[in-house]
C-alpha cells in the first residue's frame, strides 16, 4: 500500500487524508523535509498559492519539493496545488515561485474574474465528476507531453491535466463525497 503525503502548509489537509484513505492508500501530513522523504507520493491542496509558496520557503520545503518532483515522485495538485505544479504562471504575485514539473501555463484566479466559485458536472478522464471551483485557476496552454483530462464551462477551459506521474485539477474533489480523482491518483502510484 503506498504512503501518500498531504502537504500541510495550508488548505483541506484532513479532507485529503480521508479521501486518500478511502481510496485505499495510507496517508500522512507533510510539513518537514524528513516527512517529505518518507512518502511515495504527495497531494498539494488548495489554498492560496502565494501563501503556500512563502510557507514552503519558510519551512525549507520548496527546494526539497522541487528535487523530489524532478526525481519522479508522483504528485497531485488541486487548485493552488495545480498552480504549485505549473512550470509557468500568469497573474502570479511579484516573484512568485512554484515547484513546477508540469509543462503548462496556469492562469491564477482565472475563473474568479467571471464567477468567484461555482460547481459543475464534468468529464474527468472519461468519468463523470461533480467539481467544486473556488477562485480557481485554469490551464492556459500545455506542452506536448501533457494530457488534458478535463474541461469546464465557461469557455471549455482545461481544468484537469496529467504529465507522467503528475496530476493537477483546478477544482477541489476533497469537498465532495466523490473519491474518483483520489482513486485515479492512487491507481497512478500503483501503476508507476
> Which listed range, 21-29, 44-52, 58-66, 145-153, lies at the site for ligand GLN (CB under 6 A)?
44-52
DSSP H or E stretch at residue 166: strand 166-169
Q: Would the annotation count 68 as a binding residue?
A: no
Q: Would the annotation count 18 as a binding residue?
A: no
Contact between 180 and ligand GLN (CB under 6 A)? Answer: no
Count, residues near ligand GLN per rule CB under 6 A: 11
Contact between 29 and ligand GLN (CB under 6 A)? Answer: no
Contact between 77 and ligand GLN (CB under 6 A)? Answer: no
Q: Does residue 66 contact residue 80 with C-beta atoms inside 8 Å?
A: no
**Position of cell 474518483?**
180
* 86/139 Cα distance (integer angstroms): 9
DSSP 25: -
The site string for ligand GLN over 120-139 (x = CB under 6 A, - otherwise) reads: --------------xx----
* 55/148 Cα distance (integer angstroms): 30
For ligand GLN, the binding residues (CB under 6 A) are 46-49, 79-80, 83, 108-109, 134-135
Amino acid at each position: 500500500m503506498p504512503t501518500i503525503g498531504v502537504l500541510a502548509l495550508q488548505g483541506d489537509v484532513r479532507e485529503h487524508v480521508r479521501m486518500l484513505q478511502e481510496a485505499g492508500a495510507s496517508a500522512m501530513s507533510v510539513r518537514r523535509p524528513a516527512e517529505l522523504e518518507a512518502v511515495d507520493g504527495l497531494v498539494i491542496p488548495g489554498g492560496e498559492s502565494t501563501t503556500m509558496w512563502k510557507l514552503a520557503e519558510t519551512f525549507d520545503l520548496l527546494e526539497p519539493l522541487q528535487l523530489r518532483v524532478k526525481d519522479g515522485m508522483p504528485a497531485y495538485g488541486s487548485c493552488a496545488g495545480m498552480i504549485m505544479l505549473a512550470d509557468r504562471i500568469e497573474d502570479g504575485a511579484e516573484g512568485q515561485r512554484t515547484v513546477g514539473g508540469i509543462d503548462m501555463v496556469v492562469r491564477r484566479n482565472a475563473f474568479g474574474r467571471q464567477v468567484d466559485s461555482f460547481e459543475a458536472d464534468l468529464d474527468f478522464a472519461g468519468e463523470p465528476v461533480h467539481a467544486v471551483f473556488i477562485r480557481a485557476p485554469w490551464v492556459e496552454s500545455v506542452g506536448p507531453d501533457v494530457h488534458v483530462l478535463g474541461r469546464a464551462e465557461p469557455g471549455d477551459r482545461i481544468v484537469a491535466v496529467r504529465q507522467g506521474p503528475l496530476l493537477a485539477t483546478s477544482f477541489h474533489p476533497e469537498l465532495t463525497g466523490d473519491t474518483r480523482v483520489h482513486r485515479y491518483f492512487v491507481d497512478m502510484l500503483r501503476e508507476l
